[in-house]
Amino acid sequence: MMESESRRLLQSMLNGAAEVISKKDELNRINVFPVADGDTGSNLASLMQAIIDNVAPKEYSTKELLEEVANAALIGARGNSGMIFAQYLTAVAESYHHLESTFEGLVQAFQKAVHKAYDALLDPKEGTILSVMKAWSEALAGSYEQERSFPQSLLNAQVVAEKALINTEFQMPILRKNRLVDSGAKGFYYFIAGLTNAYCGEAVSIPVSFSEKKDIIQPSHFETNEPLYRYCSEFIIKQASISQQTLREVLASKGDSLVIAGNEKQIKIHIHTNEPQEVLRLLSAYGVMTYQKVDDMKLQYEVTKAPRAKIAIVTDSIADLPEKFLLDHQVHVLPMNILAGEESFLDKLTVGPAMMKEKLEQQWKMSTAQPTIRSVDALLSFLENKYEHVLVITVASKLSGTYQLVKQRIQGRNLSSKWIQVIDSRLNSVAEGLLVKQAVELIEIGESFEKVTQKVKQLIESSFIYVAVADLSPMVQSGRIPRVLGKIAQKLSLHPIVSLDESGNGKLIGVSFSQKQSMKKIIKKVTKLQLKELAVTHVCSINDAKLWQKQLEKETGRNSYLVDSSAAIAISAGLGSVAVAGIKEEETI
């Protein structure tokens, strides 16, 4: 395969990406599996946009091209189908080992990647995107073995993929019931259809908006001294309305190691800073944010130079804990993605209480998404040679796909269960935070990995959280309270008290005529318990939270910590909400 053929393949892949983006609304409409949340089209469009934005149209070897596409896909991956698609493209790049570009090597890589995509999932389902990937990849390899023509093999494989797509309707009960094909599977079909149409057409051209793209510099850093600034931050903005020179002047006072690259289409910024939220705020005024990455260099430096323990604790940003505790005890945090319109932010890194309050008051449509594949893989790579063991404690799997994602990446990387364990906390917010705090304390007194894991699982049963909601609207909009019931409650000016059941699902445990009454009920309930730990969090309601914290400590005789809630909790609970969590003392016989 000549370099010109690789360029043709790139052009065709860009055409496939554009085809998926054009079908975003259709894919959202038919999205009923695994959850009917109507975002598969948006998630796949995010991945495709990342490929378009981050793979420069230039001459590559086939191996270089596949790696570039895979890296871009990981940046943009969202949602279940998006994650699987990104894993598949990553596996294609990993499976292509040929020094010289060959069509045979390419079709074999596509075929081998399917098995890796299946293996990366804990419970792969037929009738999903996987089924169409498998049918297309096997047909492509089989046809090429007979035809020895890559264009003809693409055409033949597309026919097989279409039949596999149609068949998804009959492979899953929920799809059969709704008389729909799988949304993710159809997204994959649109991608290979767009690729095939472009590759096999008489003329193939790069879309106009990508034709002037230049290389994006990927800065790296190797810290040997304690960093002057805490965070290594990267951002990409497109449709920039500011020159690179002016942007340098704007950001000059915000940190060091500033690198700006790109053109008028998109700009990538790399900066070491203590204020990633402020950098993002400045950049947002000059373009549309398409990518963010924030690494805690101070934590990485301290772990490398002076680790506190031989067992690493990893959690997600929904676990509400004081920032100082996280750094002092070297707790590793995977940031959740916060989606607001077309923009996304990193929980507690590029979005904080002030921005959340502003967006919630303006009634932005906001949602959360699990950490990216790239962020999980990057953290696992960092931890591998630094700790004897790793314990991951995630938000309730009923509330987020984070637990499943981490398990998938561990399996995909063939990491030993003797080295790393993942615990579904079945909790969230400060309750999850208290569980992490207990794990840290057990590790720092020298308990074994097995003992810590066992003890943390036991503590889940003794943990609780109660939330006094100030405004019902967010819970009604998110579906956590049925819309009809919610509307009735709003008319009656009722304020719910929300908790979690044993599996980690949200549940309504009471209502009051005011949030103040709700808190009185919560305090009365908590005061009756023998407590080991206590904590309070709030959504932009610091003064009320301090008063209730003081009363709780007086009534229970227990000290507690007070912390701002994660953005993920703010979205679901709404402005003004206050939560109380604790761990009960173990009963002695």
Residue carrying structure tokens 């373009």: 287
Has residue 521 been placed in a domain?
yes
Residues 140 and 28 in one domain: yes
| Rounded CA separation 165/13 (Å) | 20
Has residue 438 been placed in a domain?
no
Find, among 449, 445, 446, 393, the residue nearest to 416 by Cα. Answer: 449
Residues 135 and 238 in one domain: no
| Rounded CA separation 459/438 (Å) | 9
Residue-wise pLDDT tens for the chain (589 aa)? 555 777 889 999 999 999 999 998 898 888 766 544 456 788 788 889 889 988 887 888 888 899 899 888 877 776 668 878 888 898 898 888 765 568 888 999 999 999 877 765 556 788 889 999 999 999 999 999 998 999 999 999 999 999 999 998 888 887 778 888 888 899 999 999 999 999 998 433 333 332 223 332 333 333 346 788 999 888 888 888 888 778 888 998 999 878 776 556 667 787 889 999 999 999 988 988 888 889 898 998 899 888 999 999 999 999 999 999 999 999 999 999 988 877 789 999 998 888 888 888 887 878 888 998 878 988 998 898 789 999 999 999 999 999 999 999 999 889 999 999 999 999 999 999 999 999 999 999 999 999 999 999 999 999 999 999 887 666 666 555 566 666 666 676 778 888 999 999 888 888 888 899 999 999 999 999 999 999 999 999 999 999 999 999 999 999 999 999 999 888 888 889 999 999 999 765 4
| Rounded CA separation 495/489 (Å) | 8
In angstroms, the Cα distances linking 522 to 281, 461, 518 are: 37, 19, 6
Find, among 351, 446, 432, the residue nearest to 392 by Cα. Answer: 432
Residues 182 and 37 in one domain: yes
Residues 206 and 182 in one domain: yes
Residues 148 and 195 in one domain: yes
SS (H, E, C) 363-381: CCCEEEECCCHHHHHHHHH
Q: Which two tokens stand for residue 350?
A: 């590029």
Question: How many Cα atoms occupy the beta-carbon half-sphere of 77 within 13 Å?
Answer: 26
Residues 181 and 251 in one domain: no
Residue carrying structure tokens 């004081």: 322
Has residue 339 been placed in a domain?
no
Q: The domain spanning residue 101 has which CATH number?
A: 1.25.40.340
Strand order of the β-sheet with 332-334 is 332-334, 311-316, 389-394, 420-424
- Residue spans of beta strands (DSSP E) within 175-322: 231-238, 255-262, 266-273, 288-296, 311-316
547 CB-near residues (< 8 Å, 6+ apart):
none
Residues 150 and 225 in one domain: no
Query: What is the count of structural domains for the chain?
Result: 3
In angstroms, the Cα distances linking 234 to 83, 220, 268, 374 are: 21, 10, 7, 14
pLDDT digits (tens, 9 = 90+) for 161-207: 999 999 988 888 877 788 888 888 999 999 999 999 999 984 333 33
Boundary (domain end) residue, out of 187, 210, 233: 210
Boundary (domain end) residue, out of 306, 334, 363: 306
Residues 18 and 132 in one domain: yes
Structural domain of 572: 463-584
| Rounded CA separation 279/257 (Å) | 14
Has residue 237 been placed in a domain?
yes
Q: Which two tokens stand for residue 526?
A: 């908590």
Q: Which two tokens stand for residue 275?
A: 């204020």
| Rounded CA separation 352/346 (Å) | 9
Question: How many Cα atoms occupy the beta-carbon half-sphere of 10 within 13 Å?
Answer: 32
Has residue 251 been placed in a domain?
yes
C-alpha dihedral, 121 to 127 to 133 to 137, nearest 10°? 120
Residues 205 and 233 in one domain: no
Answer for the pair 411, 331: CB distance below 8 angstroms, yes or no.
Answer: no
pLDDT digits (tens, 9 = 90+) for 216-243: 233 333 334 678 899 988 888 888 888 8
Residues 41 and 161 in one domain: yes
Answer for the pair 136, 160: CB distance below 8 angstroms, yes or no.
Answer: yes
Has residue 273 been placed in a domain?
yes
Has residue 316 been placed in a domain?
no
Boundary (domain end) residue, out of 176, 210, 244: 210
Answer for the pair 393, 314: CB distance below 8 angstroms, yes or no.
Answer: yes
C-alpha dihedral, 474 to 476 to 479 to 484, nearest 10°? 180
Task: Using alpha carbons only, give the angle 107, 377, 118 rounded to the nearest 5 degrees.
Answer: 40
Q: The domain spanning residue 522 has which CATH number?
A: 3.30.1180.10
As beta bridge partners, residue 337 has 346, 369
| Rounded CA separation 150/135 (Å) | 17
Has residue 538 been placed in a domain?
yes
Residues 166 and 249 in one domain: no
Residues 58 and 162 in one domain: yes
Q: The domain spanning residue 248 has which CATH number?
A: 3.30.70.980
